[in-house]
Copies of this chain bind each other. A is one copy, B any other.
Amino acid sequence: MSTDFFSTHEAMLEQAVAAAAARGYWSPFSESPSPRAYGETANEDGRAAFEAYRGHDFPLTLAGATGRVGAEVSPFGFELGIRYPQVPAKALIAQSQQALESWREAGPRVWVGVALEILTRLNRHSFEMAYAVQHTTGQGFMMAFQAGGPHAQDRGVEAVAYAWQEMARIPGLVSWEKPQGKQDPIRMQKQFTVVPRGVSLIIGCSTFPTWNGYPGLFASLATGNTVIVKPHPAAILPLAITVKIAREVLVEAGFDPNVVLLAAHEASDDTAQALALDPAVKLIDFTGSSANGNWLESHARQAQVYTEKAGVNQVIIDSVDDFKSVARNLAFSFALYSGQMCTAPQNVYVPRAGIDTAGGRMTFDEVAQGLAAAVEKLTADPAKAVEITGALQNNATLRRIEEARALGLPVLCDSRRLAHPQFEAAMVQTPLLLAAEAGNPHIEREWFGPIVFVVATDSTADSLQKAQESVTAHGALTLSAYTTNAAVAKQVQKAAERSGVSLSLNLTGAVFVNQTAAFSDFHGTGANPAANAVLSDSAYVANRFRIVQTRWHA
């Protein structure tokens, strides 16, 4: 009955499995929003699709809808006015369980084929997705295109590749012959069946709804589970488009579209909790606050819970060749999407006595001022700067900037409002850099947004110890270090391995600590409090299915 999507995508799948093993550069999708890759009219088509959604009911019909919901506001300053069907949690669960009845029987080839077809179609909608991501998350257009489109799709394909790798090693039907000396051997036949866990719940975030949502969504789908996608109320559109395309593919493949469902809901209601605690929900993927993530881990005991939560990312500056290139690299990391990335650096440790550079000694103040100057330079031209910073996703981040300012710490570079040349109501702010002393309790928590502390430490050894303690206590997705000393580099690497955090050493060029590349960089380690899982590794997929065997005498 179903189109053989597995055969269609088998070559890509094999490349993906190989790429995840080799961990060199590879991507099945173009990250360049160029007409050559996506077609001459792709940008205009995508923009038109986005504009057509605005002010209307989103074109998705769900059975059991009790009404419509949606109050998204673009961080660039206008209401989206899109209304999504709202289905009560109980009805969503019942529909998902019903869809599971046939989906679970389809088996790994079909699950994987359908997942890859959905991802491939999403790729064709990358411009539409870019506008949807831009105007829900506040990302600049280029990031919205790349992180919301091809890079998110990469992470989806990566998760499917890991899932396939683990399932493909289950041999199906085998013969078992146990020698019995001179007697005939005992002969058994054994059938091994991959079975899903059940209903899977994806809890989306407001900053990277697709990039953080796709790995769990596609890992669960590719292992035979049905999926309920619960977007953050502030960023529904990117996941609604995703669900719409997924359901189209499912229908073409001959399945109940309810294999993938959308749980749009009001910001203040208890939809997330009701879904998360339902006994039918066996898998939960969550990106968001530590409070909510920890609540899920503690309460949704019937499910495997994969969380990415808050952390405090740190930079250690010990010694540098060319300080200017260091400052340029870091300033970009501070400004990129206004620090609203879970990988953005927050605390920069610099020895109080200063650092060595190829051009001589720099004092702490010179380093701090140098970082501030690099930020000022990067953001000097608002028209260029807004493409890097994007807009603040919500007012809480704006208030957080004010709260940080009110700490009374020395201001190295103040956060300024930038006028956006296209969207005058856009909430755009430059990074705030403050000086702080190591041990200040205020810096030992996440300040989500464009807020950076340049922290004076006793020495690089002290920086290292503070960083390691902070990773262990508060979690982190990234650690960055600058040193020209091989022994120090080794020490930092050991500290990173001990505390379980990814390390970037001496980034000065066009690679930034905030960024990870699918198939090569693991996102998170699962070894510190910032995340209990990794995008993606075997552990991320291996618990999403089980094997049930049947044996009989041959």
A residues contacting B by CB (< 8 A) are 21-25, 166, 169, 171, 174-180, 186, 188, 190-193, 195, 197, 297-298, 301, 493, 496-498, 500-511, 517, 520-522, 525-527, 534, 537-539, 542-543, 546-553
How far is A301 from B296 in the complex, measured between Cα atoms in Å? 12
Residue contacts A-B, CB under 8 angstroms, 12 given: A23-B190, A190-B521, A496-B548, A502-B549, A503-B550, A504-B550, A504-B551, A505-B551, A509-B553, A511-B551, A525-B548, A539-B542
Residues on B with C-beta less than 8 A from A301 are 297-298
Closest 10 A-B residue pairs measured CB to CB? A539-B542, A505-B552, A527-B546, A538-B542, A503-B550, A25-B178, A497-B548, A539-B543, A542-B542, A23-B174
CA distance in complex: A506, B192 (Å):
17
- Chain B residues with CB under 8 Å of A174's CB are 22-24, 520
Cβ A549 vs Cβ B537 within 8 A: no
A522 to chain B, nearest CB (A): 6
| B542 with A537: CB separation less than 8 A | yes
Report how far A553 CA is from B496 CA in the complex, Å: 18
User: Which of chain B's residues have a CB closer than 8 A to the CB of A546?
Assistant: 500, 525-527, 534
Q: Which of B180, B503, B547, B548 contacts A551 (CB 8 A)?
A: B503
Closest-by-CB residue of B relative to A540 is: B542
A547 to B23, CA, bound (A): 13
Least CB distance from A38 to B in Å reads: 16
A522 contact set on B, CB distance < 8 A:
192, 547, 549
Give chain B residues whose Cβ lies under 8 Å from the Cβ of A527: 195, 197, 546, 548
- Nearest CB in chain B: distance from A385 CB, A: 23
Query: What is the CA–CA distance of A176 and B519 in the complex, to the nearest angstrom?
Result: 11
Q: Which among B175, B537, B549, B550 is the interface contact of A547 at CB below 8 angstroms?
A: B537
- Of B197, B298, B498, B511, which contacts A553 at CB under 8 A? B511
Instruction: Collect the chain B residues with CB atoms within 8 Å of residue A192's CB.
Output: 23, 522
Q: Which residue of B lies closest to A490 (CB)?
A: B550
- The residues of B that contact A500 with a CB separation of less than 8 Å are 195, 546, 548
Q: Are A503 and B538 in contact (CB under 8 A)?
A: no
Whole-angstrom CA separation of A180 from B510 in the bound complex: 11
Partner of A23, one of B171, B504, B538: B171
Which residues of the other chain, B, contact A510 by a CB distance below 8 angstroms? Answer: 180, 186
Contact B497 A525 (CB under 8 A): no
In the complex, A504→B548 CA distance in Å? 11
Contacts of A186 in B (CB 8 A): 509-511
A506 touches B549 (CB 8 A): no
B171 touches A21 (CB 8 A): yes
When the two chains form their complex, are residues B552 and A506 in contact, meaning their CB atoms are under 8 A apart?
yes
In the complex, besides A539-B539, A539-B542, 8 extra interface pairs with C-beta distance below 8 angstroms are: A21-B171, A23-B174, A23-B192, A176-B517, A190-B521, A502-B548, A504-B551, A509-B553
Residues of B within 8 A of A177 (CB): 24-25
Shortest CB-to-CB span from A349 to chain B, Å, is: 18
Q: A115 to chain B: closest CB distance in Å?
A: 19
Contact A508 B553 (CB under 8 A): yes
Instruction: Collect the chain B residues with CB atoms within 8 Å of residue A175's CB.
Output: 24
A464 vs chain B, min Cβ distance (A): 14
Please name the residue on chain B nearest to A503 by beta carbon: B550
A549 touches B534 (CB 8 A): no
Residues of B within 8 Å of A553, CB to CB, are: 506-509, 511
Q: Smallest CB–CB gap between A481 and chain B, Å?
A: 9
In angstroms, Cα B506 to Cα A188, docked, is 11
Q: Which B residues lie within 8 Å of A548 (CB)? A: 496-497, 500-503, 525, 527
Which residues of chain B are near A24, meaning CB under 8 Å? 174-177
Contacts of A552 in B (CB 8 A): 504-507
